Amino acid sequence: MREELLSVIEKNSRIALKDLAVILGEKEIDVANEIAALEKEGIICGYQTLIDWDKTSIEKVTGLIEVRVTPQRGRGFDSIAERIYNYPEVKTVYLISGGFDLLVILEEKSLREIANFVSDKLAPLDDILSTATHFILKKYKDNGTVLTTKKDDEREIITP
């Protein structure tokens, strides 16, 4: 049940427990227990809402920063990553293979705030060798969901 359960709620975390049990063909209590276990094991880490902020009047700017760092003896990249992810404005931190080390995604109200973050907070950190900042211009697809267009059902209403 675990894999199928996860793939359903990954797409729709708001589905009612009753419906979830029905579509998985399981008992409600078993599904509830499984979800509790998944939360406890840290496999389910949270329930969020995917928002297309561009459709609101609220200004948000997303910056994507490539960071090259010197790994620390014994602790590798973990402690520098921690210093970065502790900033609340940092949404995502990944360790990446290839031309740079850490990918940092940042959400702010303006370009200036992102620039300030990089110059005041990120770049001065001791172990950081260099940063390259990219601004997101348009989000087409986020977390598996296409944001740009909503497609209508184009099928004929009745077919044999």
Partner 1 sequence: MKELSRKVEAIKPSGIRKFFDLVSEMKDVISLGVGEPDFDTPWHIRDEGIYALERGKTFYTSNLGLKPLRQEISNYIKRTQGIKYCADNEIIVTVGGSEAIDIGIRAIVNEGDEVIIPQPSYVSYEPCTILANANPVIINLKSENEFRLTPQELEAAITNKTKILILPFPNNPTGAIMTRENLEEISKIIKKYDLYVMSDEIYSELTYKGNHVSIASIEGMRERTILINGFSKSYAMTGWRLGYACAPVAIIRQMTKIHQFTIMCAPTTSQYAAVNALKNGDDDVKMMKTSYNQRRRFLLNAFKEMNIECFEPFGAFYVFPSIKQFGLTSEEFATRLLKEERVAAVPGTAFGISGEGHLRISYAYSLENLKTAMERFRNFIEKLRK
- Which residue, 24 or 61, is less far from partner 1 as judged by CB? 24
Q: Scan residues 5-24 and list those touching partner 1 (CB under 8 A).
A: 7-8, 15, 19, 22-24
Among 66, 65, 63, 67, smallest CA distance to 136 is for 63
- Which residue, 5 or 106, is less far from partner 1 as judged by CB? 5
3-class SS of residue 89: coil
DSSP code for 57: S
- 40 scored as a contact of partner 1 (CB under 8 A): no
Give the Cα separation of 98 and 115 in Å (integer): 24
- Which residue, 4 or 59, is less far from partner 1 as judged by CB? 4
- Whole-number minimum distance, CB 71 to partner 1, in Å? 36
Q: Which stretch binds partner 1 (CB under 8 A): 34-42, 49-57, 67-75, 151-159?
A: 151-159
Residue 159's CB is within 10 A of a number of other CB atoms, namely 5
- 88 scored as a contact of partner 1 (CB under 8 A): no
Give the Cα separation of 57 and 120 in Å (integer): 28
Kindly give, in sequence order, each residue whose CB lies less than 8 Å from that of residue 36, ignoring residues fewer than 6 positions away: none
Interface residues toward partner 1, by CB under 8 A: 4, 7-8, 15, 19, 22-25, 153, 155-160
